A and B are shown apart, each in its own frame.
Chain A
Amino acid sequence: MADSYYNSADLRKFGKITEWSEEIGNKFFDYYGKVFEEGALSAREKSLIALAVSHVVKCPYCIDAYTKDGLQKGITKEEMMEAVHAGAAIESGATLVHGVQMMNKYNKLSM
């Protein structure tokens, strides 16, 4: 047993979650598979979105998975890094925009 909460080999076992709850597990994987199919967005675009979101939710499994997926799809490292920045910018923007709330409160409380 690896003495760590995150073990990279656990990613291989993701599919096993259906073993303890087959119906909703399968529904999740069907949905997941469908989402990443070519649609109005290309599979390539979706892969980059997934990579950005993986960083925002800080999931090491997803980061591994979508880095590999990007390589498979021929996505370059420059494109991958820009996607990560897009995610990071939204995340920091989401923090910063609360500065307006701080300003509002400050102004309201101040004479």
Chain B
Amino acid sequence: MQKSLKSRDNELAVTNKQLEILNGGIFADGELPYFKDKINEIGQFPLRPKKLEILQINVGYMCNQVCEHCHVDAGPDRKEIMTRETMLLCLDIIRNTGAHTLDLTGGAPEMNPDFRWFVEEAAKAGIKDFIVRSNLTIIRANKKYYDLPDFFKKHNVHVISSMPHYTRGKTDKQRGDGVFDKSIKALQELNARGYGMPESGLRLDLVYNPSGAYLPGDQMALEADFKKALKEDFNIQFHNLFAITNLPIARFLDYLIASENYEDYMYSLVEAYNPAAVSGVMCTNTISISWDGWIYDCDFNQMLDLKVASKVKHIKDYNEDIINDRNIIISQHCYGCTAGAGSSCQGTVA
């Protein structure tokens, strides 16, 4: 199995090195414009948040998979896990936030030993939309996770799962051998509980992100293809497909550089820049909290260790009004959010 950049001592495990690449090269020598200049053209610099709608909490970088494109650099060897103490601070925030959506992510959030306790407590806060980003295979990884579909159902959790393709070959290439079969089995289990069925209130959405150095195509067309193939081949149903662009950070950046696709990919992103997507980028309505309680504009900035530009940087001092009054920290990876129809954790934005 592949390992995380961190455990390989890869130079990109140092976030400064990633930022150096994103700020240098073709951008520094003027071949491509900086993101800042691009959004300045439409009066969006500095980028500012709008109303906070989504609280995204990353409960740890540990994962049962080591996907090649992972922007978290997650894997079984990552030990950064949110403690119950930090979760207690998060619960206070969840009870008092103006956000309507709570979005738990990782790694594989289910691998956090306090995950179930946290979900039970958070569900009591009565937040409108409670999302868990589950990688599907975790449900089949070990007996202790087999009941997850029932657990999700009990707490009316909205499940969002990654599925790179509806064919075995493409899925396993991106996410590892055997991932496709396990994911199919997990989806069938979720369907059996009512998840993803047409009239069901148990939401099951899939996330598609390209298995390589190219941008996602039209979200609706991809959704139609996925729906048709999964239904015909495996009798699987789901609600929506979110097409997400891979951002050039962490392992995906490593892949781009190693495969000599970095420049072409950045060109594609800049070429596909859509000014209409800027006002809808994720960081304008989301904040991201890390396993150790730091606050970021988004999960990507978290992985680049770019903490919010605010007096309040940690949840122990949490104050939503102060945090919302900030400039968002941007760099060239942000082009990933504004390419084509735009990209966010909820799919396209424009």
- The residues of A with any CB-CB pair to B shorter than 8 Å are 12, 42-44, 68, 71-74, 76
Chain B contacts with A in 213-237, Cβ cutoff 8 A: 214-218, 221-222, 225-226
**A45 to B237, alpha carbons, bound, how many Å?**
25
Asked if residues B221 and A72 are in contact (CB atoms below 8 Å), the reply is: no
Asked whether B200 is an interface residue with its Cβ less than 8 Å from the other chain, the reply is no
Closest to A68 in B: B214
Asked if residues A72 and B216 are in contact (CB atoms below 8 Å), the reply is: yes
Q: What 3 pairs across the A-B complex have the smallest Cβ distances?
A: A72-B217, A73-B217, A71-B214
**For the side of the interface on B, what is the size category?**
10 to 19
Chain B contacts with A in 162-217, Cβ cutoff 8 A: 165, 167, 169-170, 208, 210, 212, 214-217
**In the assembled complex, which residues on chain A have CB atoms less than 8 Å from the CB atom of B225?**
44, 74
Asked if residues B214 and A43 are in contact (CB atoms below 8 Å), the reply is: no
User: What would 5 A/B residue contacts be, using CB atoms closer than 8 Å?
Assistant: A42-B221, A71-B210, A73-B218, A73-B221, A76-B167
Once A and B bind, how many residue pairs between them come within 8 Å at the CB atom?
31
Contact of B218 (CB < 8 Å), options: A43, A68, A71: A43
**A12 to B265, alpha carbons, bound, how many Å?**
11
Asked if residues A74 and B222 are in contact (CB atoms below 8 Å), the reply is: yes
Contact of B170 (CB < 8 Å), options: A43, A72, A73, A76: A76
Closest to A12 in B: B267
CB distance from B173 to the nearest CB of A (A): 11
Asked if residues B221 and A43 are in contact (CB atoms below 8 Å), the reply is: yes
**A72 to B271, alpha carbons, bound, how many Å?**
15
For the complex with contacts A43-B221, A73-B217, A74-B165, 18 further pairs of A-B residues with Cβ separation under 8 Å are A12-B271, A42-B221, A43-B218, A44-B221, A71-B214, A72-B210, A72-B214, A72-B215, A72-B216, A72-B217, A73-B218, A73-B222, A74-B208, A74-B217, A74-B225, A76-B167, A76-B169, A76-B170
**A72 to B225, alpha carbons, bound, how many Å?**
13
Asked if residues A71 and B221 are in contact (CB atoms below 8 Å), the reply is: no
Looking at B170, B208, B217, B218, which has the most chain A CB atoms within 10 Å of its CB?
Answer: B217
CB distance from A42 to the nearest CB of B (A): 8
Closest to B170 in A: A76
**In the assembled complex, which residues on chain A have CB atoms less than 8 Å from the CB atom of B217?**
72-74
**In the assembled complex, which residues on chain B have CB atoms less than 8 Å from the CB atom of A68?**
214
**A43 to B224, alpha carbons, bound, how many Å?**
13
**In the assembled complex, which residues on chain A have CB atoms less than 8 Å from the CB atom of B218?**
43, 73
Closest to A72 in B: B217
**In the assembled complex, which residues on chain B have CB atoms less than 8 Å from the CB atom of A72?**
210, 214-217
**A42 to B228, alpha carbons, bound, how many Å?**
15
CB distance from B84 to the nearest CB of A (A): 42
**In the assembled complex, which residues on chain A have CB atoms less than 8 Å from the CB atom of B216?**
72
**A74 to B264, alpha carbons, bound, how many Å?**
20
**In the assembled complex, which residues on chain B have CB atoms less than 8 Å from the CB atom of A71?**
210, 212, 214
**A44 to B221, alpha carbons, bound, how many Å?**
9
CB distance from B78 to the nearest CB of A (A): 29
Chain B contacts with A in 252-279, Cβ cutoff 8 A: 264, 267, 271
CB distance from B239 to the nearest CB of A (A): 18
**A42 to B218, alpha carbons, bound, how many Å?**
12
CB distance from B13 to the nearest CB of A (A): 28
**A82 to B225, alpha carbons, bound, how many Å?**
19
**In the assembled complex, which residues on chain A have CB atoms less than 8 Å from the CB atom of B271?**
12
Looking at A12, A42, A72, A73, which has the most chain B CB atoms within 10 Å of its CB?
Answer: A72
